[in-house]
A and B are shown apart, each in its own frame.
Chain A
Amino acid sequence: MKIVVLMKQVFDTEAKITLDGSGKINKQGVSLVMNPYDEYAVELGLRIKEKLKGEVTVVSLGGDEVQSALRQALAMGADKAVLVDPGTEEIDEFTTATILAKAVGGMEYDIILGGFKAIDDGSVQVCGRVAEILGVPVVNVVTQAEVEEGKAVATCDIDGGSAVIEVSLPAVLTAQKGGIEPRYPSMKGIMQAKKKPMQKIGLAEIGLDAAQVAPKVKALNFFMPAARAAGKTVPGEPAEAARELARLLREEAKVI
C-alpha cells in the first residue's frame, strides 16, 4: 500500500501573533510545529502501513524550515519525505493544492491522508481541492478509519453527529482528533530519520510554472483583533454575586 501524507508546518499554538513593518504576519522568532491534525494523519498512515505493509511518503509545501517537521514525521516512522518549494510567498489554497496534487500525481498512491484543517491560516480546503484535481473521492473530518486493499471505511464528523462512509481507493481522507493518538518518535526513530531520503524540489521539476499556480484569493490587509474592554468583577458573597450577575446579564449586557 502506497500511503501519502500531506503535512503542513504551522506556528506553535502558543505563538503570539504580531504584524511586521509591512503589515504582514511576523514570522520572526515564532516556533514551528507539525500541524496537530497532520500528526493524526501521519499516525493513521503508519497504522495502515503496519497492517497492510507498504510505504509512507510525507509531502509538504513550504521553505527549507519545513525540514524539521518532515524529519519528525520520518522519526515517527514515515519512509521518505518530499518538500516542494513554491518559490514565492504569494500563494493561496488553490496554489497549494495545485502544486501538491501535481507532486502527488507523479507518485504512486493508494491513499492520501492530510489534516482536516491547518491551525494557522488554514481554511479546510487544501485536501479537498487535491482530491478534486486528482479525480479521487474525499472523506473529510475522519476520526477513525479501517483501511483494506481497495477500500476505506471511515467514521467522520457530520453536522449533528457522525457518519460511517465507505470509499474505494485511491481516496483522500482528512484527519480529525478522535480515535487515535499520534506516537512520539523513539530515540531509534530519530536516529533513523537522519538517513531517510528527503527530496527537495521546485515547481519546474514537477512541470508547473508560476502562472499556472497564481493565487485566486488576494490578501488585502492584516489586522489584530480589537482588545476586549476591561470587564467587571461581580463582588459579594456567592448568593449575592449570582443574583447581581443575572441582573447584569439581563439589564446591562441584555444577553438573556
Chain B
Amino acid sequence: MAKGIWVFAEQRDEEIKKVTYELLSAGRKAADALGEELCAVLMGRGVGSLAGKLGEYGADKVYVADVDALENYTTDAYTNVLADLAKEHQPTAILLACSVAGRDLAAQVAQRLGTGLMTDCTDIAMEDGQLVFTRPIYAGKAFVKAACPQARPVMATIRPNVLAADAPQAGRAAETVTVSAGAGDIRQVIKEIIKQISTRPELTEADIIVSGGRGMKGPENFAILEELADVLGAAVGASRAAVDAGWLSHSFQVGQTGKTVSPVLYIACGISGAIQHLAGMSSSKCIVAINKDPEANIFKVADYGIVGDLFEIVPLLKEEMKKLLA
C-alpha cells in the first residue's frame, strides 16, 4: 500500500527555503489525518546538515541525496533521483513548492510516474478521505478544487506564502535515510549561472512588496521605492507598463504575464490596477494603493488607499515606517 506524505525540501545555497516549512506544516496535518508518515526529500551537495531542521518542522523521516551532481538544479538529475525514490517507496502524495525548480521537477516526475499534478495550489484539505487541492485559474479570477482520485502519488505544487508554517519544535529529530541512487544521465548541461545579486528578498517569497507602475515616470525614480523597500525589508515589483518601458527587467513584473505574488503587504504606487495586474497580486493579504487618481481601479481592491502624489507620499511613508520600526 502506498504510504507517506512527501515534501520536496527546497534549499538554495545550503539554506532551506521558508516555503519548505509551509509544506511540512501542511503535510504534517495530511499525514496525521491519514495515519501515515511525513517524509522530506533533501537533495543537493553538502546539504546533509540541513536534515535536522526538517525534523524540527515536522518530518518523521528525511531522505538525503547528497552528491556532487545535485549541486545545482538540473531537470534530469533531480527527476531521476526523486522518481526512482518514489518508485521504490510508493508514497501517497508528493508536495513541492511552486517555484521555478519545483514546478519543473513536479511535471517531469508526475509524467514519469504516470500520475496527476495540480500546480500553484493555495490550499490543501482532507475531504472524504482524499486530499483536495484548491488552485487559482485564469490568474486568480476563479478557483478550482481538484483531486487525483486514483493515480498515486497525488502530486501538487503549492504557492509560497499562502500556507502558514507552524513553529518548529526544538530537538524534534527525524530519521535520516541516505539515498544511494545516482543522478543518472544529465542532458541539460549548465554553462553558466547568473545569480541576481540583491539584498532584497525574492518577489515570490517576500512578505512585503513595494511595487511601481507607469506613475513612477522613469527608472531613476524607483530609488524612492527601493528606499521604502529597504526600510521594510521588502522586495520591489513593477507593473507591465514599467517593465515594457524598460525601467525594470521582466523578472520584476507582477501580474498575469508576470509573477503571481501573495505577500502579507503589497504597496502599489502609481499603478492603475488593470485586470492583468490585479490577477498577479490580489491574493495579497493587505493591499495599499497610492495613486493620484481617486477613480483608479486599484482602489477597488485596496484595503488602504491614499489619493495623492506618490513622489510626496512615498518618502514621507518611508520616514514614518523608519520611526515605527526603529
Interface positions of B from 88 to 133, Cβ below 8 Å from A: 99-101, 103-104, 106-108, 110-112, 114-120, 132
Contact B313 A17 (CB under 8 A): no
Q: Tell me which of A93, A178, A224, A242 contacts B306 (CB under 8 A).
A: A242
Q: Which residues of the other chain, A, contact B49 by a CB distance below 8 angstroms?
A: none
Contact B111 A249 (CB under 8 A): no
Q: Could you tell me the distance in whole angstroms from the C-beta of B73 to the nearest C-beta in chain A?
A: 7
Contact A153 B191 (CB under 8 A): yes
Q: Tell me which of A159, A216, A234 contacts B150 (CB under 8 A).
A: A216
Binds A, one of B39-47, B169-177, B192-200, B216-224: B192-200
Q: Could you tell me the distance in whole angstroms from the C-beta of A150 to the nearest C-beta in chain B?
A: 13
Q: Which residues of the other chain, B, contact A215 by a CB distance below 8 angstroms?
A: 116
Contact B145 A162 (CB under 8 A): no
Contact B257 A119 (CB under 8 A): yes
Contact B196 A17 (CB under 8 A): no
Query: With the chains together, A105 CA to B248 CA distance in Å?
Result: 40
Q: Mark B290-326, 1 if CB is under 8 A from A, else 0.
A: 0000100001111111111100110011011101110
Contact B196 A222 (CB under 8 A): no
**Chain A CB within 8 A of B286 CB:** yes
**Chain B CB within 8 A of A253 CB:** yes
Contact A128 B119 (CB under 8 A): no
Q: Mark A117-148, 1 if CB is under 8 A from B, else 0.
A: 00111011100110111000111110100000
Binds B, one of A8-16, A46-54, A202-210: A8-16
**Interface size band for A:** 35 or more
Contact A19 B142 (CB under 8 A): yes
Q: Using A165-B191, A215-B116 as known contacts, say yes or no to A242 and B144 having CB atoms under 8 A apart.
A: no
Contact A159 B12 (CB under 8 A): yes
Q: Which residues of the other chain, A, contact B110 by a CB distance below 8 angstroms?
A: 94, 125, 129
Contact B308 A129 (CB under 8 A): no
Q: Which residues of the other chain, B, contact A256 by a CB distance below 8 angstroms?
A: 208, 232, 265, 321, 324-325
Contact A225 B140 (CB under 8 A): yes
**Chain B CB within 8 A of A195 CB:** no
**Chain A CB within 8 A of B16 CB:** no
Contact A231 B299 (CB under 8 A): yes
Contact B101 A228 (CB under 8 A): no
Q: Mark A229-243, 1 if CB is under 8 A from B, else 0.
A: 101111000110111
Contact A238 B195 (CB under 8 A): no
**Chain B CB within 8 A of A21 CB:** no
Q: Tell me which of A121, A137, A219, A253 contacts B188 (CB under 8 A).
A: A137
Contact B303 A119 (CB under 8 A): no
**Chain A CB within 8 A of B275 CB:** yes
**Chain A CB within 8 A of B139 CB:** yes
Contact A253 B304 (CB under 8 A): yes
**Chain B CB within 8 A of A161 CB:** yes
Q: Could you tell me the distance in whole angstroms from the C-beta of A27 to the nearest C-beta in chain B?
A: 11
Q: Which residues of the other chain, B, contact A19 by a CB distance below 8 angstroms?
A: 142
Q: Mark B147-191, 1 if CB is under 8 A from A, else 0.
A: 111110000000000000000000000000000000000011111
Contact B117 A217 (CB under 8 A): yes
Query: With the chains together, A17 CA to B140 CA distance in Å?
Result: 10
Q: Using A125-B110, A242-B316 as known contacts, say yes or no to A11 and B138 having CB atoms under 8 A apart.
A: yes
Contact B143 A161 (CB under 8 A): no
Q: Which residues of the other chain, B, contact A233 by a CB distance below 8 angstroms?
A: 294, 299, 304-307
Q: Could you tell me the distance in whole angstroms from the C-beta of B262 to the nearest C-beta in chain A?
A: 12
Contact B189 A220 (CB under 8 A): no
Q: Could you tell me the distance in whole angstroms from the C-beta of A209 to the nearest C-beta in chain B?
A: 17
**Chain A CB within 8 A of B146 CB:** yes
Q: Could you tell me the distance in whole angstroms from the C-beta of B202 to the nearest C-beta in chain A?
A: 6
Q: Mark A7-36, 1 if CB is under 8 A from B, else 0.
A: 000010111110100000100000000001
Contact A164 B192 (CB under 8 A): yes
**Chain B CB within 8 A of A168 CB:** yes
Query: With the chains together, A157 CA to B104 CA distance in Å?
Result: 11
Most buried by B among A120, A159, A228: A159
Q: Using A125-B107, A165-B191, A168-B187 as known contacts, say yes or no to A232 and B304 having CB atoms under 8 A apart.
A: yes
Contact A137 B187 (CB under 8 A): yes
Known A216-B115, A224-B143, A256-B324; further 8 A-B contacts with Cβ < 8 A: A93-B107, A132-B108, A217-B118, A217-B147, A221-B144, A242-B319, A246-B324, A248-B304
What are 25 A-B residue pairs whose CB atoms fall within 8 Å in the complex? A14-B276, A93-B116, A119-B257, A121-B144, A139-B188, A143-B250, A159-B73, A161-B193, A216-B114, A216-B148, A216-B150, A217-B116, A218-B148, A222-B145, A223-B143, A225-B142, A225-B282, A231-B287, A231-B304, A234-B305, A234-B306, A246-B317, A249-B288, A253-B265, A255-B265
The 5 lowest CB-CB distance pairs between A and B, nearest first, are A216-B116, A128-B107, A125-B107, A242-B316, A137-B187
